[in-house]
Structure 1
Amino acid sequence: FPSGHVPTGLKCHPDQEHLIYPLGCTILIQAIKTQEQNFLHGHSNNVSCVTISKSGVYIASGQVTFMGFKADIILWDYKKRELMARLSLHKGKIEALAFSPNDLYLVSLGGPDDGSVVVWSIAKTEAICGSPAAGLNVGNATSVVFSQCHDEMFVTAGNGTIRVWELDLPNRKIWPTECQTGQMKRIVMSISMASDDSFFYLGTTTGDILKMNPRTKLLADTGPAKDKFSLGVSAIKCLKTGGLLVGSGAGLLVFCRSPSYKPIKKIQLQGGITSISLRGEGHQFFVGTEESHIYRVNFTDFKETLVTTCHFEAVEDVVFPFGTAELFATCAKKDIRVWHTLSNRELLRITVPNMTCHEPVLCGFQVRVWQIGHQTQKLEEALKEHKSSVSCIRVKKNNEECVTASTDGTCIIWDLVRLRRNQMILANTLFQCVCYHPEEFQIITSGTDRKIAYWEVFDGSGIRELDGSLSGSINGMDITPEGVHFVTGGNDHLVKVWDYNEGEVTHVGVGHSGNITRVRISPGNEYIVSVSADGAILRWKYPFPS
């Protein structure tokens, strides 16, 4: 769940069996019981919002794109797991989406550069009408919610603006009415409509909640008066029984009621809360946080259970322990995690604040050799040859030699007994990865020049060069113990399996939405695990019989 920062990005499907959330440019549908995953591919850039129709038949998702370009909304068929229509009108970013209660219309909000609200017909998959989302003297609208009972009314809210809209279908127009909040100026972060349309609730950056009447367009009440929610009310959900579930930017989850909004039940979660999604009537619900945690909470005992977790920043490296494919470890900016391969579950987390773990055993421009005991670490030698950061280290099977790749355009082969340089390889590239062939008389390297180069270990001479990618740097590489195939991954977001001798691609894996930082083949050649800059860890079936 690396896209934990997407507001209301985590949704529980009305069938109560699946969770839906964005992962970079893809939408992920995950079965709650079996953890089985389906991917919806179609967006060209990161997904910025997701919504599900009340019936559960449709999913809609919007994306960000570059300034001045059109940002697509994609309408998906949930049952068939396929793309139904692509709706293009907004520019730059889709801020929020909402379905009407009877699946007749979809309303979309454009981002800051677009500033418009558009109503789409789902049957015809075309726009009915549009309008500027907010007035001239206020900020952007960032949230939208449809009426729970009528297909012709919805509400938008944002920086200093709260508007109730009426759809006039015969004239193809939408009419806004500005809601009155008196002297209060608020920036709205989240919005939720009561099941009978009697009121809607707005969570603000100030940390209080506004209760508005959609008929009179007037403020009913506001609170809490004291002890406001730290870092704003980032998620809010109305319950049918009355009462509200409120999530704060500081990770506090609270059940409260109007008009006091004092906490009746509360728990502290890890990371700012971005989504609260009810399972059924709300006897159980799921909470998503900025730190890529998905929690399941039972309403009665109000205790959280961690369902899914992932890195919420770029994953720098992945490694399997010697001789087993059951576990693997990954490292990111602030933590190192150990995962169980088959169940995708996290077994251990080591948190090291303010310390970026790149590759195990890397240190700036020096290559340091350490002697590691059970309780002690002793620095044997610092080998100072590289002029820039060291990006990859591989050690020979007998532990007497290693090769280091650096972004200064050199690969150095070191003698670990004499602690001296044996050989240096120079190329016009920033080396990102290096591998020994299992027979250890050749190495293969790659980097920002997109070329895969084969070199002799003995004298450092070049053997051959392949075009590794058409579009971007190659950042990760691994080779099978037999030396028959190797795998690469890089900025083109593709995992490629190569034949070592022929130098040709045999298989391509499409699934990442961020730059791939490292790839590893598991011992026994069962899986390939690739990690990327968007925080994703993908496990692939190795394409040849293991």
Structure 2
Amino acid sequence: MDKKKVAVPLVCHGHSRPVVDLFYSPITPDGFFLISASKDSTPMLRNGETGDWIGTFEGHKGAVWSCCLDTNALRAASASADFTAKIWDALTGDELHSFDHKHIVRACSFSEDTHLLLTGGFEKILRIFDLNRPDAPPREVEKSSPGSVRTVAWLHSDQTILSSCSDSGGVRLWDVRSGKIVHTLETKSSVTSAEVSKDGRYITTADGSSVKFWDANHFGLVKSYDMPCTVESASLEPKFGNKFIAGGEDMWIRLFDFNTGEEIAICKGHHGPVHSVRFSPGGESYASGSEDGTVRIWQTQPPTPTTALNGPNKHSSPSPLEVVASKLEDLHVANKD
């Protein structure tokens, strides 16, 4: 067995149905956090580094398809099949506001300045809610989507929004001020994942069996890589931008070299298709959510056999992930013997 491709994840249980969306907060004074959306109707908040459960947001009456945290990780948002998008206090778990829609809400996203919430879903309408005036009617982007909205995101310091559809290819970019489409990123298959890189340079998309990287300012296609299976989600490493991950139908998470497309590692462990993958804000780990109802957190650089058996290099301190992964590896070896 190739030891470079062996990784022991932190397995986060708690959801009773498939995990369909993951979102990492930026790094805050209290660390960083991971929120997960599930068809069990209860988004969960975890410590992004250790995977420890912090709390569950209770109040939705249908599957939760999308979730996110604001820049300071003080509020959470969720989009649900119960025709609502909700805002939550991420410190207490209390519901702060519920925005009614007329059909299933599939996607939600906080603006960078945290004042706005963007939603989209089966109504084929993009809505922008002013969180400073939550009772005010939302702004609606007219004729905003040719089909059911699958993903939404902000870019260009909240001056542009993007969306993709479940039943047609492409990513549409809208000027927030005019409400008009400024560009369309053309893809053959529907885009199931669209992520704006931390530095604002790239848009990473997963469509069918390919992962594409687009120039977020000039909208040209930078790189396109064919995947070994149908992928549902992809994420670019945020610190150096030299790696990316992809997960999908075959239940594996693959780590690739951004510049060459070479496969670096394969992470196996899920027992169902992978619906969402996301890098942590520092790039030291990444999370995956699956049909099997679990969230798994993987190290970007798995410990080598020497590190796992003899401890970390004396010049460096192990991260909590490395400590837990090392213990799990030792336990696995002991049980095998």
TM-score normalized by structure 2? Answer: 0.63
Closer/same/farther in 2, CA of residues 376 and 522 from structure 1, 3 Å limit? farther
**Contact 2:183 2:219 (8 Å CA) reproduced:** yes
Task: Summarize deviations over 1:260-296 as a string: whole Å, max 9, x none.
Answer: xxxxxxxxxxxxxxxxxxxxxxxxxxxxxxxxxxxxx
Q: Which residue of the partner structure matches residue 352 of structure 1?
A: 59
1:314 matched to 2:18: yes
Q: Percent identity?
A: 18
The alpha carbon displacement at 1:400 in A equals 1.4
Aligned to 1:95: none
Mapped partners of 2:9, 2:205: distance in 1: 34
Distance 1:37 1:511, change over 3 A: closer
Q: Which residue among 487, 512, 520 is the counterpart of 2:245?
A: 487
Check whether the contact 1:423–1:459 (CA below 8 A) recurs between aligned residues.
Answer: no
Partner of 1:140: none
Taking a change above 3 Å as real, the CA distance of residues 387 and 439 of structure 1, as seen in their structure-2 partners, is same
Deviation at residue 520 of structure 1 after TM alignment: 1.2
Residue 15 of structure 2 aligns to a residue whose secondary structure is: coil
Note the C-alpha offset of 1:430.
1.7
For residues 51 and 221 of structure 2, the distance between their equivalents in structure 1, rounded to whole angstroms, comes to: 40
Q: For 1:140-539, list aligned pairs within 5 A.
A: 310-324=14-28, 325-333=31-39, 334-360=41-67, 361=108, 362-364=120-122, 365-373=124-132, 376=135, 378-396=137-155, 398-407=157-166, 408-448=168-208, 450-457=209-216, 460-468=219-227, 470-471=228-229, 473-481=230-238, 482-539=240-297
Q: What is the letter of the counterpart of residue 172 of structure 2? A: I
Contact in 2 for aligned 1:527/1:542 (Cα 8 Å): yes
Distance 1:491-1:372 versus aligned 2 partners, 3 A rule: same
Give 1:369 deviation, angstroms.
Answer: 1.7
RMSD (Å) for aligned C-alpha atoms: 3.0
Query: Secondary structure of 2:121's partner?
Result: coil
What CA distance in whole angstroms lies between the structure 2 residues aligned with 1:483 and 1:434? 16
Normalised by the length of structure 1, the TM-score is 0.40
AA of the residue aligned to 2:121: C
Q: CA deviation at 1:529?
A: 1.0
Indicate how the Cα distance of structure 1 residues 533 and 455 shifts in structure 2: closer, same or farther if over 3 A, else same. Answer: same
Deviations 1:396-417 (A, max 9, x none): 2512122222221121112223
Unaligned runs of 5+ in 1: 1-35, 40-307
CA distance in 1, matches of 2:32, 2:213: 31
Distance 1:526 1:462 in 2: 27
Counterpart residue identity of residue 352, structure 1: G
How many angstroms does 1:359 deviate by?
1.9
Q: Is the 8 A contact 1:368 1:383 kept in 2?
A: no
Q: What letter corresponds to residue 501 of structure 1 in structure 2?
A: N
Q: How many residues align?
A: 240
- CA distance change for structure 1 residues 478 and 354 in 2, over 3 Å: closer, same or farther? same
**Are the equivalent residues in 1 in contact too, given 2:10–2:298 (CA < 8 A)?**
no
Q: Secondary structure of the residue that 2:64 maps to in structure 1? A: coil
Q: Structure 1's 381 and 508: CA in aligned 2 closer, same or farther, altered over 3 A? A: same
The Cα shift of 1:387 comes to: 2.4
Q: Which has the higher strand share?
A: 1
Shift of residue 380 of structure 1? 2.0
1:24-45 CA distance string (max 9 Å, x none): xxxxxxxxxxxx9999xxxxxx
Say if 2:276 and 2:290, in contact at 8 Å, map to a contact too. Answer: yes
Bigger RCO of structures 1 and 2 (CA < 8 A, at least 6 apart): 2
More helix by share: 2
